[in-house]
């Protein structure tokens, strides 16, 4: 589907329309695209891990979050090599654009931040901000011509799987800790 299929033409049309729009200034799009860089996302995640470890006095959420983040390049790189999807012009001759590593990095890193900060924010839902931020990152990546829209959406799907796995693992661990010992 990502390299060849019924979504290819609509994906390219949408990507070309976003890339040529003047509604989103290029410097703003570049700023949002850069939020998907590991050099930006990982320090934000590290600060969140340090804060939640200090706040909860347990290292388990930080370790599981770090392992989840480590899965991103471990899954994205082989998928990019296997699918070998060409990028948008002018990057077209190059391959390895599906799924987007930058979109996956942003979605998982900021998604982990939202999951970890949720208990501390009492009544506020950080997931809404995470969704808006990741939409801006994805739009920036497409607007700047780094990825096609489907590359970004594929990364978001991968991120949902990873974040749900972490959430389920943490919920299971919490249930086990709260069970009375017999």
Smallest CA-to-CA distance from 154 within 59, 74, 46, 80 is with 80
Q: How far apart are CA 107 and CA 161, in angstroms?
A: 11
67-111 pLDDT, tens digit per residue, is 999 999 999 999 988 888 878 876 666 777 888 899 999 999 999
Q: What is the mean pLDDT of residues 155-166?
A: 94
Provide, rounded to the nearest whole percent, the portion of the chain with pLDDT above 70.
93
Beta bridge partners of 95: 86
138-147 pLDDT, tens digit each? 999 999 989 9
Q: What is the pTM of this model?
A: 0.88
What letters, b where the CB count within 10 A reaches 16 and e where it falls short, cover 144-160?
bbbbbbbbbbbbbebbe
Q: What is the pLDDT of residue 182?
A: 59
Distance CA 63, CA 65 (A): 5
How many residues are recorded in the chain?
A: 182
For the stretch 17-52, pLDDT in tens is: 888 888 889 999 999 999 999 999 999 999 999 999
Domain boundaries, the chain: 30-174
Residue pair 12/148 in contact (Cβ under 8 Å)? The answer is yes
The token pair at 97 is 């654009």
């Amino acid at each position: 589907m990502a390299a060849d299929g019924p979504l290819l033409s609509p994906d390219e049309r949408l990507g070309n329309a976003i890339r040529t729009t003047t509604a989103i200034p290029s410097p703003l799009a570049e700023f949002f695209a850069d939020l998907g860089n590991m050099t930006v996302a990982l320090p934000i995640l590290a600060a969140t891990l340090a804060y939640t470890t200090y706040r909860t006095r347990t290292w388990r959420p930080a370790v599981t979050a770090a392992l989840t983040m480590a899965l991103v390049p471990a899954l994205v790189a082989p998928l990019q090599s296997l699918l070998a999807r060409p990028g948008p012009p002018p990057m077209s001759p190059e391959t390895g654009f599906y799924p987007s590593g930058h979109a996956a990095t942003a979605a998982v890193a900021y998604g982990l931040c939202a999951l970890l900060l949720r208990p501390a924010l009492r009544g506020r839902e950080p997931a809404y901000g995470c969704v808006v931020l990741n939409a801006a990152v994805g739009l920036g990546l497409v607007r700047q011509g780094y990825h096609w829209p489907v590359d970004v959406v594929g990364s978001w799907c991968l991120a949902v799987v990873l974040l749900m796995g972490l959430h389920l693992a943490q919920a299971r661990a919490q249930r086990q800790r709260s069970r009375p010992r017999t």
